[in-house]
């Protein structure tokens, strides 16, 4: 999987799956632009991934605003001359009982996940059309395929299901332009997202309790999903589009 002279945009790239994917893309020769809301976190991530600052840059901003995606594309073109791969990796996950969702909660999922897929894709596709090809990978979720009783997440699941639907629709619409669109659907992956609603001690306890939830006997790590993303971005998957790929330790094989 070689990505020399390829330029990758990764939203939600400051930590977790997005940051690990950025590291791997750079390892295999790509130039990368990452996005998130936290400027300081993005600066730290850039320095961790590429201390030279030659292969990685960032654009901070709210991905639910079209201008943020336009800025990402503009910077990619200015620095590296192209946009070859887009990874829509934004997410929000706070287990919530269905009757407790408030209007702002619902809107935040739509902003982060649905708009966070539509606007970056709309910004990069014209550049990919010019180049005659491109790849978009969306980070979906197992929760969009199967609910999990221990983590009530109806609106999260609905937003991720929309991301899955966008994946298939875009794959079909832009196949004629040689733009491939696929998604990964992870189960429990040990990323900082759980720190948003659990204490440090609770995170360790809760995540450990989910190891046996997976037939392979362990939770996922960011690199497990990042490896799948790189495969879908590579020429090794050149005849694959419109796929929702479970990366879940076997969970969806067991669920009926």
Q: In which residue are the tokens 């991905």 written?
A: 63
Measured at the alpha carbon of residue 53, what is the angle toward residues 51 and 58, in degrees to the nearest 5? 115
Contacts of 153 (CB under 8 A, 6+ apart): 93, 94, 95, 96, 143, 147
d(CA 223, CA 16): 9
Q: Is 227 exposed, middle or buried (0-12, 13-18, 19+ CB in 10 A)?
A: middle
DSSP string over 166-181 = HHHHHHHHTGGGTEEE
Count other C-beta atoms under 10 Å from residue 11's C-beta.
29
Determine the distance from the C-alpha atom of residue 34 to the mean position of all C-alpha atoms in its chain, rounded to a whole number: 11
Q: How far is CA 187 from CA 147, 166, 190, 251, in A?
A: 11, 20, 10, 7
| Strand partners of residue 32 | 8, 56
Q: Which residues are catalytic?
A: 156
Q: CA 35 to CA 214: how far, in whole Å?
A: 31
């Amino acid at each position: 999987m070689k990505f020399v002279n390829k330029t990758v945009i990764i939203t939600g790239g400051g930590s977790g799956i997005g940051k690990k994917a950025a590291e791997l893309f750079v390892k295999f020769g790509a130039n990368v632009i990452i996005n998130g809301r936290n400027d300081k976190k993005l600066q730290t991530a850039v320095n961790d991934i590429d201390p030279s600052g030659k292969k990685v840059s960032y654009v901070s901003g709210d991905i639910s605003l079209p201008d943020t995606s336009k800025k990402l594309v503009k910077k990619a073109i200015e620095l590296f001359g192209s946009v070859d791969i887009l990874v829509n990796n934004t997410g929000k996950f706070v287990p919530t009982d269905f009757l407790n969702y408030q209007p702002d909660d619902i809107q935040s999922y739509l902003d982060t996940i649905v708009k966070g897929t539509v606007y970056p894709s709309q910004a990069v596709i014209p550049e990919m059309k010019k180049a005659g090809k491109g790849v978009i990978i969306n980070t979906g979720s197992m929760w969009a395929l199967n609910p999990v009783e221990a983590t009530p997440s109806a609106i999260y699941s609905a937003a991720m299901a929309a991301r899955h639907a966008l994946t298939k629709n875009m794959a079909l619409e832009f196949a004629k332009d040689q733009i491939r669109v696929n998604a990964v659907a992870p189960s429990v992956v040990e990323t900082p997202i759980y720190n948003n609603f659990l204490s440090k001690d609770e995170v360790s306890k809760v995540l450990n309790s989910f190891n046996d939830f997976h037939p392979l006997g362990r939770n996922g790590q960011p690199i497990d999903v990042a490896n799948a993303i790189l495969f879908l971005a590579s020429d090794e998957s050149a005849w694959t589009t419109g796929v929702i790929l479970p990366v879940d330790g076997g969970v969806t094989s067991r669920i009926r």
